[in-house]
Amino acid sequence: MTVAPIHYDCLLPVRADRLYTAWTTGWGLWLADAATVRATAREGEPFYFAVSEPGRTPQVHHPHYGRFLELIPDELVRCTWVTRGTAGAETQLSVRFTPGADGATHCALTHSGFADAASRDQHASAWPAVLAAQGARLSALSEQEFARAQHRGGGTDRTNRSMPDATLIPTRSYPDPAAAVHWLREVLGCVERLREPGPRVQLTMGNGAVVVAAWDAASAPASGGRPPATLLVRVPHVDDAYARALSLGATGLSAPATLAFGERQAAVRDPAGHAWTLSQTVADVDPASWGAVPVQPIG
């Protein structure tokens, strides 16, 4: 017997990018016990979290398992969904986000693949209350709490083949980039990832990354006796981060702009004079499309 899927539409007072975070790496913000969340927002990757039953002593945890099937940042999350309530069946869940007025978002949820009508009816009655609670909880959270959820685990919840999977990426400038890359490989064990036009070279080191850039002393004199250096930090919403930086005394070096390699970036100088690049992943871009050459296989 084929069990009919669930379709449920609602309007939540939460931005689409926040909802995308909530349904990928931010389960602990609204549904799960935060310490139990294991999730990386990449297609094909599994996720896990547990939900505790309020008012129960001893505490009872209900495990939730799944695998991300399709991810379109700020637009769509499609995944498998296995809980006690699905009676062991690997159901499929999709949530589509459409921005509305005043920062609200239309959510269209579809849940299919139930083993029996009882499981389907249980979820059909539960999802409206769950989404209403989600909207109430998320609308009360700060941008910093969302940033922590996105960057939990030292990475980012957005995939872009043109960027290393690291939250903080320093750029170091050298008059001889090839010699610098050799030094970083031999001394620090860095691995070349991508050679960019410029020239610039992306390298990885453990779960971190560094970029080597060419430096012309005539056009960019050394500051304090050293070549210029910047720090790139990946943020969930670059326009918000840029506005907050200016309000807290930073000087704008470049306003937010969407670039060809799938990042929306801005640059500021903090009150102490240090330069920061703020970067938000907005698309997964093939490095070859903007002239970069992969050195290692990039998934």
What is the C-alpha separation between 270 and 254, in angstroms, rounded? Answer: 13
pLDDT value at position 57?
55
pLDDT value at position 141?
87
Q: 171 is written with which tokens? A: 């750029």
For the chain, list residues with pLDDT below 70.
Answer: 1, 54-60, 147-158, 219-226, 299
- Comparing CA positions, the residue from 280, 269, 192, 201 lying closest to residue 235 is 280
225 φψ region: left (φ > 0), alpha (ψ -120 to 50), beta (else): left
pLDDT value at position 155?
44
pLDDT value at position 207?
83
Q: Hey, is 135 helix, strand or coil?
A: helix
- Comparing CA positions, the residue from 10, 72, 9, 70 lying closest to residue 45 is 70
What is the C-alpha separation between 238 and 264, in angstroms, rounded? Answer: 7
pLDDT value at position 154?
41
List pLDDT tens digits, range 7-51: 999 999 999 989 998 999 889 999 998 888 888 888 899 999 999
What is the C-alpha separation between 72 and 240, in angstroms, rounded? Answer: 21
